[in-house]
Amino acid sequence: MYLKDQKYMAALAGEGSLTRAARRLNLSQPALSKWLLDLEQEIGMPLVIRSRNGLVFTEAGQIYLEGCRECLEAALEIRRELDALSQKSKQSIILGGSPIRGAQAFAKIYSEFRRKYPDIDLQFVSDKNPVLKKMLSEGEITMSLLGAMETSLPNLEYLKFMDEELLVMLPKGHSLSYDYKTLPPNQPYPAMDLANLAGTPILTTASETSYGDMVLTLYRNAGLESNIIFRSNVIPLLYEMVLNGVGAAMIPDSYYNPEDGISVYSLSPRIVVYQGIGLRSGHPLSDAEEYLIHLVMNNWGSPYYMHQYADYYLEQRKLRIDAYEYNKI
């Protein structure tokens, strides 16, 4: 029984007419009639009877038709399984991150990653930290660039690759401004108490972001009213607004350029935030995923000792997961 026979019989049963079946199959009616005659001669008995009401299947025709339907269904099931296998073998990696720094890092690493792993579909998803954490824990993304105040995240593992200090950045002309050139070399930034910003317009990120939450918590813990006049999740925009004298901002030190002439202070106590990659707990990393992590670190400008730490962490992580999988056997 050939696939052509199965399709032609299904068309005859569905249309009830040689003419309509031929049209459905993009055949001429004589060609379909000849196929049916040849098939009946091969089987040795008639399969259909022509009547005023169309084609009527004989008992032999009914048996043959049922066999055709079963074969067609089996062929479709095989195709579905093969398609599923094809999709499974075509690996994809989805990296989450912020729309600014995360997107910039992704743009830098994409071509280099594809050169080494051309068959892997590398994608980028951008959203706020809480959303990315949820997507990561639910398996919607493979890994995510995350800013965090602590390295212990529920149901996730956090591979920290950089520390950043949260600095107060003051516009030129502020009463607490100073000339950074007067600071001794390698001297820490001068410290400031949050109360010194009373009356100063504050620029910060949205409250649902890690930095925005941090700023509100600092004010709340100090028992002070915040004078927040503007919020944006685009940190470079906040920095530009400081340069243009709009107000003061509390943002990571990596955005600060001493040549811009603004004044910066450490908070007292000093606030450190982390940059890193979030992973699902227990998710075994492929070679391609490990390579992606190292590309991100290289292009983020992470210090060398953090690369060594990452190598050690990933090695120990793999040993833990391998041991867990072995014990399940």
Q: What is the pLDDT of residues 42-97, one digit of tens each?
A: 889 998 888 878 888 889 988 888 888 888 788 878 877 776 666 555 689 999 99
Q: What are the structural domain ranges in the chain?
A: 3-88, 90-147+276-328, 162-273
The pLDDT confidence band at residue 323, using thresholds 50, 70 and 90, is low
Write down the CATH number for the domain with range 3-88: 1.10.10.10
Query: Is-same-fold flag (90-147+276-328; 162-273)?
Result: yes
- b/e 75-85 (16+ beta carbons within 10 angstroms → b): eeeeeeeeeee
What is the per-residue pLDDT across 130-167, written as a single tens digit (0 to 9) for each? 889 899 999 999 999 988 766 677 788 889 888 888 88
- What b/e readout covers 18-36, taking b as 16+ CB neighbours within 10 angstroms? bebbbebbebeeeebeebb
Q: Right CATH number for 162-273 from 2.60.120.620, 3.90.25.10, 1.10.2020.10, 3.40.190.290?
A: 3.40.190.290
Question: Is the pLDDT at 326 greater than 50, yes or no?
Answer: no
Is the pLDDT assigned to residue 174 strictly greater than 50? yes
Query: Is the CATH number 3.40.190.10 carried by domain 90-147+276-328?
Result: yes
Q: Which residues pair with 123 in a beta bridge?
A: 94
CA 294-295-301 angle, 5° bins: 90
At residue 297, what is the residue type?
M
Query: What is the SS3 assignment for 93?
Result: strand
To the nearest 10°, report the CA torsion of 148, 149, 152, 153.
-50
